[in-house]
Amino acid sequence: MEKDTLLIDYLLGRLSEPERLAFEEMLANDLPLCQEAESLEKIWRDVQRYEVEPDAGLDTAFYALLDREKENQTLESQHQQEANVIPLPKKRVYWPYAAVLAAFGIMFWLGRMTVAPEIKTQTVTIEKPSYRPLEIPPAEEVAQLEPSTKEETKDVSIKKVQQEVATLRKELKVTQELVVLGLLRKESAAERLKGLQYASNMPSLPPDLLQALAQTLRKDENINVRLATLETLKSYGKNPSVRKALLARLNAASELPEQISVMETLVINKETAALPRLKQLAEDEAADPIIRKQAQQSIQLLTI
């Protein structure tokens, strides 16, 4: 298996216990691979500077695109108007008619010279040609004939922006998950607490991350880390892995703050499977009075 594949499986908690130990030994002996794993934290800090929702820069770019489309449509409209101009008819040339009149005049004069004076004359009337003005359709009708692409271009631009935002959200979610998983495996309790803080700020936790948090609740030796994990998992008690981890922690917890936090989380999630253990705590005279009282209150809330 390649190192990159091992690294991803290690961060997602998909390696078996022998594989995980072998990979951690590989990290200790492979400095570049160790640096690559630790760089996930830096990726998280870089990602935090970006907002998920579109910012002012995205709005500016979007409306600049719309302004350019408006200018293009204006130029196309001007070109169309120029193309629709119908040239005026040229002036009619009348010299052919004058030549015809002159010819008739010469013929009339020659006829009087050769024929008797009683010659009937016939007047030729030349009608002036009439021009019928061309009917130009109204501008509204011309506009209806043109394909209206302005709205279509706007819709395409909005869809493109929405797709880019959705892609950014997906990439951000995957990066956040990898960062949290990497921090939860740190030896330092402060680093693990930082990972829990990042997880609590995520809008929703995927199944792989919930399973890793349940494992942290079961096995982490630091009580502060366990308390922070309980706070993060309060609204995920219906998840099978989280449910089993809460019930196991109710039996194993021995410190007062942790016992109270576990009971509160079980009550919030209406976990009736905790009733047998709660009754034992409520009836245990050797238990702390605060724990007995909290167990009695939890039993009352779960049996309402």
Number of Cβ atoms within 10 Å of the Cβ of 250: 22
pLDDT at 273: 95
**DSSP annotation string for 94-142:** -HHHHHHHHHHHHHHHHHHHHS-S---------PPPP-PPPPPPPHHHH
pLDDT at 173: 72
Per-residue pLDDT, averaged over 235-247, amounts to 92
Percent of the chain with pLDDT over 90: 38
pLDDT tens readout for residues 8-38: 777 767 788 888 888 888 888 888 878 887 7
pLDDT at 81: 62
pLDDT at 69: 57
Residues with Cβ within 8 Å of 86's Cβ and at least 6 positions away in sequence, in order, are 134, 136
pLDDT category at 118 given cuts 50, 70, 90 is low
- The pair of three-digit structure tokens given for residue 132, joined into one six-digit string: 């019928």
pLDDT category at 87 given cuts 50, 70, 90 is very low
- Locate tokens 């200018």: which residue? 71
pLDDT at 57: 55
- Say how far apart CA 223 and CA 256 lie, in whole Å: 11
pLDDT at 33: 79
State yes or no: pLDDT of 236 exceeds 80: yes
Global pTM exceeds 0.75: no
Check residue 15 and report its DSSP letter.
Answer: S
pLDDT at 64: 63
Averaged pLDDT score across all residues of the chain: 76
Torsion angle of the four alpha carbons 196, 201, 206, 207, in this order, in degrees rounded to the nearest 10? 40
Name the phi and psi angles at 273, rounded to 5. Answer: -65, -15
Number of Cβ atoms within 10 Å of the Cβ of 223: 14
